[in-house]
Chain A
Amino acid sequence: MDAAQLPDRFLTWFAERGWSPRPHQLALVDHLSNGQSTLLIAPTGAGKTLAGFLPSLLELNARGKPAPGSAGSGKLHTLYISPLKALAVDIARNLETPVRDMDLPITIETRTGDTPSHKRQRQKQRPPDILLTTPEQIALLLSDPASLDLFRTVKTVVLDELHALVTSKRGDLLALGLARLRALSPNLRTIGLSATVANPDDLRAYLVGQPGTDKRNLAELVHVSGGAEPDISILDSQERLPWSGHSSRYAMGEVFELIKAHRVTLVFVNTRSQAEAVFQELWRINVDTLPIALHHGSLDVGQRRKVEAAMASGGLRAVVATSSLDLGIDWGDIDLVINIGAPKGASRLAQRIGRANHRMDEPSKAILVPANRFEVLECQAALRASQRGDQDTPPLRKGALDVLAQHVLGLACADPLDPAAVYAEITSSETYRHLPWQTFERVLDFVATGGYALKSYDQYAKLRRGKDGLWRIAHPKIAQQYRLNVGTIVEAPMLKVRLVRSKADGRRTPVGRGGRVLGDIEEWFIEQLTAGDTFLFGGEILRFEGIRENEAYVSRAKTESPMIPSYQGGKFPLSTYLAESVRGMLANPESWRSLPEQVQEWLRLQHEKSKLPARDGLLVETFPRGNRHYMMCYPFEGRLAHQTLGMLLTKRLERLGARPMGFVANDYALSIWGLGDLSTLFSSGKICLDTLFEEDILGEDLDAWLAESFLMKRTFRYCAVIAGLIERRHPGQEKTGRQVTVSSDLIYDVLRAHEPDHILLEATWNDAAEGLLDISRLGELLARIKGRITHIGLERVSPLSVPVLLEIGKEPVYGEAMDDILADAAEDLVLEAMQ
């Protein structure tokens, strides 16, 4: 389409702003008018949002004014789906401006969890032309028989931040919703808006219906390249680079100077506790009292909204934030992004940097601040990837079975369910294209009666098959239950953090019940504290007082430094791409020149005293220290894979009589220690390293460990909630007495013992293999290093091992069986008694 063909009021509108329609915006209009779905990949600032809505605005404009007196045409034309409800609200605001300016006859509304129920009800009867919403709301609407007609008129679905949506179970839920929408409105067109990704074809396939053959249908692609190259550098620190740790405290003086030298700085960190530590440190040295704020997902919502508003209005000089700020909301005029700690992935870093400077033709400026020496290597690798424009977004997920179960129940709530038709519909989505019919049947059986081999629940079935072969819900109550449980986000159990006065002031019980709520904190974090422990939260050092019902009581601590450091790792492990790049860098001393001198020296020392890890092999060092023997491995495959490997190796070493005692893992390396002389055991051939790292370790050993693994149990809980086996905990329900609720751990144990191939255990296993345990990556590692393991026995600690050894005592140590700990704790008492 030529810009001149746009209707006059559009042309005038563009002209009044000194703009002209961009080629990609017009290309989208062309594709859509040909009935084609389209993926738009564009950098920040390219006018992505307007591009996504322009085709709809034109079509609705051409439709003309609706009959007088009606609020709109009464027909939903465009659905906009965003991963964040805040983003949907924000986009609605931005969209209203051109619609008002051009006086277009178009109604725009949002629908989120916050929308009042009378408005939601009205939206079903008289929908707006454009509805902005979230994947969960789509699922809810699709489960309602009354709203199916609503979707039959939909012409366009716009999916924002598609690259982020497709990486989680929400993306699976949305994929199923899209398949349903395509069935309801066969000529539906989709528009995906995305940042640059490694495999655009995955997203193109996600956007359209698949024919079910080996050939993939792809949406059209509009790729806006360019934008100015970002200006990224690694902080050239004058300070001494720490060996380990995650606080980057050493660099805070320099970070503060950078904030001073820029208008608005976004300081990104990986975890909540890192955010707290950085914020604390910045304020300690903030003699100029610059307005610096803190933003992370655990803070009280009101507090977060305040920070966001201050940011948007230009009232802040810097915000220290976790990924809660990662996605596309416009935060105003940011001219510097500082990334503290490891970037973890090249694409992830690129997206964070895109937060700075929303004008496409000016370079975004970003500075990376590695927290320790290993992170220098990682930052360097990420920097190179950015210069080359390399991407490391993960491949498209295989659709999760628990999400499918939820969807199937939703379908049955809306309409009698025909299994063959539903199967065809589900497998028309790229995400579930390869789902076998048998698995689908098992999912259906699960939804109906729990899917157990022992068919004892037929009389209580939630879905019943009628004589016509269609499945219907057995009772309207089931639809109510479904609505309470919809969605794929299962929050970790959280406790409210309430400020009270301290017990330490000589009172027997904490007082001030009505104290202020500071935010929410993960239950597992609080569980590891005892009264009197101090920790950072909300920018303050707090003293833990105790737990009352579902609240953690805290008081202001009078101490300078908190006792519980707790980094607890980020959610994301080092990407495979960066890992490989770091290994390559280590193996090639030529490439060290770009590294800081301190790091070069560290690597040279490693080369002298031990060996450098090879690019494709595995270096294993052993050395004695204290009265223990240590084994160091450097796979660079990310913390999750290393933890799993550590757990499995410890089991194996135990069986081989090497008496391991524990291990600690980070993103780069793994350290196992024990009482047996590992150097001798390995060099004498008593324990063969190739056998130790044999791929069969992923067989029985893994199985034995999984039985006990709390990671597995946590994953199971998430799956069980999403699949609807156990009900979601709703606010206010926690108080009903914990002994009454059925613990998902117990269900897991019973199920594993009696029906190990149950569909939910399969779903749990799939999740764990990809996520928490990173089994797939571990499998690739074991295959890669086969026959390429180098062992070197050392007299003493090697330079490369120091950062990992320093983490012992700071990170949780794994490997000791629960019962041993109990025995130890019990024996302590005996000793005390004997004294």
Chain B
Amino acid sequence: MNALTSQKDRFVAAPVCHDIQINGQLVGLHDSGVLWWPDQSVLVVADLHLEKGSSYARRGVMLPPYDTAETLERLAAAINAFDPACVIALGDSFHDPDGSDRLPPAYRAMLATLQINRNWIWVTGNHDPVAPVRLCGETVDEITIGPLTFRHEPLPKTDRQQIAGEVCGHLHPAARVRRYGRSIRRACFATDGARLVMPAFGALTGGLNVADPAFHLVFRRRQFSAFMLGNDRLYPFTASRLIAD
């Protein structure tokens, strides 16, 4: 685990992002699944689902107990790369309300280290509607910074005025394309320029195809783009190019 990165390693060039505009703001989508907002030095990560393994184990399904380690290592890599002033965890950071209580001491320490010298905002989610215990950071239901609003669950698209600039998670978007007789399915960012749905970051989190009716509440049909996560880059597709599961 490379959580403890020395100061000098921090001065590396910022990673390459795919720059897009959300509600007029320039933000960068990164292939690790995080959102980088350079103007505000904010890093956003959605649906960590920490302690999902132990949440299942409680019910007798012994998933590998390495999901928290894996997720935090990837998060640490992203934080070290971007060195943000503020991190927003966009809800469902823990798989269940007791998740933060179960967090083993080593990972607790790892999280604390990542929080040094920066603001940390826990947005509540349906899996973790309460503030995490024995962890630093501010807990909010949603937060608005300039033209962008960060909340876990997207609001239904009734009042577009109110929703423009919404950055959310919850849906675990994934997209599928077909090529050469094979189809490939990956987690993705989904956006129509006004709103953005973030991919789930957690190691054991599956995805929901963006063709699913759940996304009809967020975007007008086929009026959005998906940025599929690849190895070292993102692959952009317009919704009309994607297929259902």
Contacts and interface: CB of A to CB of B under 8 A. Distances in A.
Physical interaction between A and B: yes
B208 A737 contact: yes
A818 B206 contact: no
A826 B230 CA distance: 12
Contacts of A751: 64, 66
Contacts, number: 127
Contacts of B118: none
A725 B238 CA distance: 38
Contact of A819 (B61, B207, B231, B243): B231
Interface stretch (B2-10, B80-88, B159-167, B170-178): B170-178
B204 A747 contact: yes
B25 interface: no
Contact of A750 (B66, B186, B209, B237): B66
Contact of B66 (A475, A530, A742, A755): A755
B237 A826 contact: yes
Interface string A813-833: 100101101111110010000
A829 B238 contact: yes
Contact of A738 (B65, B206, B238): B206
Interface string B218-245: 0000000000101100011110010111
Interface stretch (B50-58, B141-149, B190-198): B50-58
A330 B103 CA distance: 61
Interface range for A? 35 or more
B63 interface: yes
B184 A822 contact: yes
B62 interface: yes
B117 interface: no
B180 A456 contact: no
A452 interface: yes
Contact of B204 (A454, A725, A746): A746
A462 interface: yes
A548 B144 CA distance: 37
A450 B57 contact: yes
B56 A742 contact: yes
A659 to B, nearest CB: 18
B207 A753 contact: no
Given A530-B178, A753-B70, A460 B203 contact: no
A754 B171 contact: no
Contacts of B243: 530
A324 interface: no
B244 A546 contact: yes
A586 B243 CA distance: 47
B182 interface: yes
A450 B180 contact: no
A477 interface: yes
Interface string B178-189: 111111101000
A460 B208 contact: no
B111 interface: no
A525 B92 CA distance: 34
A452 B66 CA distance: 9
B104 interface: yes
B60 A478 contact: yes
Contacts of B63: 450, 725, 742, 747
A826 B58 CA distance: 43
B115 interface: no
Nearest to A746: B204
Given A738-B245, A739-B206, A481 B60 contact: yes
B153 interface: no
Which residue among B54, B62, B181 has the maximum number of chain A CB atoms within 10 Å of its CB? B62
A211 interface: no
Nearest to B170: A739
Contacts of A823: 230, 235
A726 interface: yes
A812 B182 CA distance: 8
A743 interface: yes
B235 A825 contact: yes
Contacts of B96: none
A528 interface: yes
A753 B179 contact: no
5 contacts: A460-B58, A725-B61, A747-B64, A822-B186, A826-B237
Interface of A: 446, 449-452, 454, 456-457, 460, 462, 475, 477-478, 481, 527-528, 530, 546-547, 725-727, 737-743, 746-747, 749-751, 753-755, 758, 812-813, 816, 818-819, 821-826, 829
Pick the 4 closest A-B CB pairs, nearest first: A450-B62, A754-B66, A739-B208, A460-B57
Interface of B: 52, 54, 56-58, 60-67, 69-70, 104, 171-172, 177-184, 186, 200, 203-209, 228, 230-231, 235-238, 241, 243-245
Given A758-B64, A821-B182, A822-B235, 9 more contacts: A446-B62, A460-B62, A528-B181, A530-B178, A747-B63, A747-B64, A750-B70, A819-B231, A825-B179
